[in-house]
Chain A
Amino acid sequence: MEVEGERVEELAKLFKKVPKTSFELLLRNLKIRDSLKGLYEKHSSGLPLSYDEGFEGLFNDFLGMMFRPLGIMAYGVRLLSSLLSHLLDYFFSPFLLFLDRGAAEAREGVARECASFAKSWLEHLKTTTDLLLGKAMPTVGSTMEEFLRTYEKEVEEYVKEAIRYTLSGPLLPLPKAFFTNLEEAIRCWEGFAKAFEDYRRALKEAYVKAAEAFIEKANESRFNSYQEFIEAFLDLEAQAFDEVLTSPRFLEAQKLVVEGLMDYVRYCRALFEGVLTSNPANPFATVSLLDEAFRRITDLRRRIRKIEGRLASLEEKLEALERARGES
């Protein structure tokens, strides 16, 4: 590939044409090749290789792709939780103030804020309808004004009443399950994070062992070409990974990593869904609701298929009987 600017342009065009993972692996391997070439140049000039000069960086390049799928899943949950936390702030933070015993002033402030929010919303509604209707139909405009004045009064009364009701006792608008699921999600994340360290350590140890074996070989003898050099290195690493990836230690770490992450995702989904479904004004169907609906649909479909099969079989028998009758 050519010089930097052309290379970037070519990569951008390539990204549109090849699968995303191919593109990512190609980029990583360009970096790996540069590192390996550097090591080979050192080797071919007669200088001894050592692990600390280049091989540690190679491990991170090698294994970056291995950790990526787990990173994407964990990041996806994080993204959703940060979006939801904004929603939670907006809808619930005024009420969270009620959890603080010394928040009498804050309560009054909240009450004022709620009333002012309702008022400004009504102002907006009024302005919008003025713009839409006022010029074209002045009589309707004045009727609308009258309606809004009456409505504004009623809403104000409603908001005051609602706040009086909530001020009469502590209010926790989130269901109990939210707190349980949050605790479990945190516990699962901690389990996942610890298991991930064990997982990474097992892979690193295998990598280092093979790298050191290669370094010893390279320092004792000479590779005649870059191709021979990298083939020897990659063969040793491949064999080391063949061994570690089915070892009991790795399997245990991998099991805990996968299960920890899956449990974390499940509890996070449950807590997000709990927030939504606890609010009767929520217009969104949750994944769990849809999942149950699809389970019932699939089950019904199977039953219909069986019934259709039996009907077809009965029809065939009937046709055979009628044919036999016709022939006799």
Chain B
Amino acid sequence: MLVEKVKDVKPGYCKYETIYEDWLFKLHRFKTDVKYATPVLISYAFINRPYILDLQEKVSVIRLLLEAGLDVWLIDWGYPTLADRYVGIEDLTDFIDLSINLIVRERGVEKITLWGYCLGATLAIVYASLYPRRIRNLVLQAPLFSGETRNALAVWARSIDAKKVSDAMLNVSGDFLNAAFLLADPVRLMISKYQSLLSSIEDEEFVKDFFYMEHWIFDSPDVPGRLFEEYITRWYQRNELARGVFEVGGRRVDVGKITMPVLVIVASKDHIVPPESSIPFFEAVPSRDKKLIVSDKGHIGLTVSRSSHSKVWPEVVAWLLERSA
């Protein structure tokens, strides 16, 4: 029976403790024997849950980092409620700053590796541009940098009135955003995918992997109304980051200030943040030590596919270890 195959599916493998809580946001630290001096702080996208990086043991990126001896910390952007409606990009970058303060004090270091994924990588770009001296290495997975791409989600983001949506919904619900993601590729994501499941219903491993992903896909937090307005209007519609005119707290974000080692990982079949969004950043940063890895997977396959874990992640970990002593 199908239910027998899925009853033990529970995402999240590595153990962590919560070091700090700040109303909505939390800072977690994963438990391991630390062998490298430079801690890693992960900033994931605020539109999904970060445990995609630790979905299950066999495809956990965090497990690989911990087993290599890295000290891994992670920001949890939480589940916003109406009380968080006016949280904006500045509040998120302030929390990254607060987290780094806590980490450097705890570890007795001056710099960390900042690792961002998707919109979390965009936040990492913003932070690293404003505070380059605090960052030893910058690792960016599918960062949204240019909002002028031709994928359906970007085209839609450029065409909606974000203020109307946030005025009506206050916080933009996880369900609404999920619907947008599904509708951007409805046949593949709502039909072909489930027809494949029905064809493979006897394959226990396939079914389990499928529902691990389902749990994550449909566990979407609401996005604070202000944050939604800001990132849709300023990152997509006005393309402020790529144009070099984005400001936070009155300070201009200039990627020309990013000179530390940079690793950018993109996925050629990514229909959420296509490579055309990220590559302009890679080309613009003046870092002498920079590398671009291109995977042949999609936005999430980059993280959880078996081929990524055999080809991409060992290369990423090796790059990071060389720069973390």
A interface list, Cβ under 8 A from B: 1, 10, 13-14, 17-22, 25-26, 28-30, 32-33, 36, 62-63, 65-66, 68-69, 72, 227, 230, 234, 237-238, 241-242, 245-246, 251, 254-255, 258-259, 261-263, 265-266, 269, 287, 290-291, 294-295, 297-299, 302, 305
Contact = CB atoms under 8 A, between A and B. Distances in A.
B315 interface: no
Interface string B175-218: 11011001111111011101101110100000000010011011
Nearest to B189: A25
A25 B201 CA distance: 15
B165 interface: yes
Contacts of A72: 175
A20 B159 contact: no
Nearest to B187: A238
Contacts of B195: 29, 32-33, 36, 230, 234
A62 B192 CA distance: 11
Contacts of A17: 3, 6-7, 9
B195 to A, nearest CB: 6
The 7 closest A-B pairs by CB, nearest first: A262-B168, A19-B218, A29-B194, A69-B179, A298-B86, A238-B187, A22-B214
B150 interface: yes
What is the size category of the interface that chain B forms with chain A?
A: 35 or more
A265 B169 contact: yes
Contacts of A13: 1, 3
A69 B176 contact: yes
Given A21-B178, A62-B186, A234 B192 contact: yes
B319 interface: no
A259 B215 contact: no
Nearest to A68: B179
Contacts of A14: 2-3, 6
Nearest to B87: A298
B110 interface: no
A294 B82 contact: yes
B94 A295 contact: no
A25 B194 contact: yes
Interface of B: 1-3, 6-7, 9, 82-87, 90-91, 94, 150, 152, 155-156, 159-161, 164-165, 167-170, 175-176, 178-179, 182-188, 190-192, 194-195, 197-199, 201, 211, 214-215, 217-219
A32 B191 contact: yes
A86 B48 CA distance: 39
A245 B187 contact: no
Nearest to B88: A298
A294 B198 CA distance: 47
Contacts of B3: 10, 13-14, 17
For chain B, what secondary structure do more than half of its interface residues adopt (helix, strand, loop), or is it mixed? helix
Given A22-B211, A246-B152, A299 B183 contact: no
15 contacts: A10-B1, A19-B218, A21-B175, A21-B218, A22-B218, A36-B195, A62-B191, A241-B187, A251-B155, A259-B161, A262-B164, A262-B169, A287-B170, A290-B82, A305-B94
Nearest to B6: A17
A18 B6 contact: yes
A57 B84 CA distance: 43
A35 B192 CA distance: 14
Contacts of B170: 287, 291
Contacts of B87: 298
A65 B156 contact: no
Given A62-B187, A266-B168, A294-B83, 13 more contacts: A17-B7, A22-B211, A65-B186, A66-B183, A238-B187, A241-B187, A245-B184, A246-B152, A259-B164, A261-B168, A262-B167, A294-B84, A295-B86
A32 B82 CA distance: 39
B186 A10 contact: no
A299 B226 CA distance: 12
A66 B179 CA distance: 8
A72 B83 CA distance: 23
A254 to B, nearest CB: 7
A291 B186 contact: no
A254 B179 CA distance: 13
A294 B88 CA distance: 13
A168 B89 CA distance: 57
A302 B90 CA distance: 9
B44 to A, nearest CB: 19
A290 to B, nearest CB: 6
A210 to B, nearest CB: 9
A26 B218 CA distance: 14
A18 B165 contact: no
A237 B197 CA distance: 19
A11 to B, nearest CB: 9
A29 to B, nearest CB: 4
Contacts of B9: 17
A287 B82 contact: yes
A18 B215 CA distance: 7
Nearest to B9: A17
Contacts of B178: 21
Contacts of A261: 168
A69 B190 contact: no
Contacts of A290: 82
Nearest to B167: A266
A62 to B, nearest CB: 6
B275 to A, nearest CB: 18
A18 B185 contact: no
